[in-house]
Amino acid sequence: MHLLFVCTGNTCRSPMAAMLTMAKLQERGLGWTAESAGLYAAEGQPMTPLAQDALTRRHVPLKPHASRPLTRELAERADLILTMTASHAREAQARFPDLAGKIHALGAFVAGAEEAAEVHDILDPFGGSAEVYEACAAQLERLVERLVDKLAPAADETRGGVPAGAPADAAAEPAAGTAAAAGGAGVRPGQDETLEANRDESGDCERSRRLPPEGAPEADPDGAGRGV
């Protein structure tokens, strides 16, 4: 199974989620993969130092990271696309409506809660203190643990009972149906977006993300004007 985590700028939340997931997969002996991208990411930005520090405190191996925008190629090769907020999910679904069935907000997917999905959003730590990043990493760590617990049995069932991590050709069915088998809740395309009040926007976000085309809808109200 291949997981793709998506935020806004691909410098904080989504790379933390991907690296936390890879560490958990290795710990559990699961041969899955995880990577990340951003809806409005610029190319080549590193993960923020405070995000790296939060992972280091958890003994998560740091891998080289360069931010990148979400593309159709990345979306198509993922079995499951998990966004940091419900508005991220709606934006990604609007961009790739034919892939909407495998795009979900991470928190809502893990909780199995399609309604009021914003309640489960992972808030943007960009521009915040070490404590803000620590809280974000702790939230992601809990969600990743629950995500792997949720997907592992479904992956075995979808693959005809073959243990996770076994060669793909031993599976009775492809892993693409795992999200459906897990029974996770998604976010409906076109669902009305609930706007949250923006937090401190003193950070210079323009260096770490691309702006959407003029007139395009906001992708992430809680992350607008920040790097992730």
Q: Decide if 216 is inside a domain.
A: no
pLDDT along the chain (228 residues), means of 10: 98 99 96 98 98 98 97 99 98 99 96 78 97 98 97 64 41 44 44 37 39 48 44
Question: What pLDDT, on a 0 to 100 scale, did the predictor assign at position 117?
Answer: 73
Catalytic residue among 124, 136, 199, 222: 124
Asked if residue 37 belongs to a domain, the reply is yes
We report the CATH number of the domain holding residue 66 as 3.40.50.2300
pLDDT at 60: 98
Instruction: Quote the pTM value.
Output: 0.72
Residue 224 domain-assigned? no
Q: Considering the domain boundaries, does residue 42 fall inside one?
A: yes
Boundaries of domain holding 194: 2-207
Candidates 13, 90, 159, 226; catalytic one = 13
Beta bridge partners of 105: 83
> What is the SS3 assignment for 156-225?
HHHCCCCCCCCCHHHCCCCHHHHHHHHCCCCCCCCCCCCCCCCCCCCCCHHHCECCCCCCCCCCCCCCCC
Report the number of distinct structural domains present in the chain: 1
User: Is 7 among the catalytic positions?
Assistant: yes
Q: What is the CA radius of gyration of the chain?
A: 17
Q: What local confidence, expressed as pLDDT, does residue 115 receive?
A: 63
Please count the other Cβ atoms lying within 10 Å of the Cβ belonging to residue 142: 13
- Whether 227 maps to a domain, the answer reads no
Residue 41 included in any domain? yes
CA distances from 79 to 38, 92, 99, 100, 128 (A): 17, 15, 10, 12, 32
Q: Is 222 a domain residue?
A: no
- 13 has catalytic annotation: yes
Distances (CA, A) of 125 to 16, 135, 224: 11, 9, 12
* Residue 149 appears among annotated catalytic residues: no
Confirm whether 212 is domain-assigned.
no
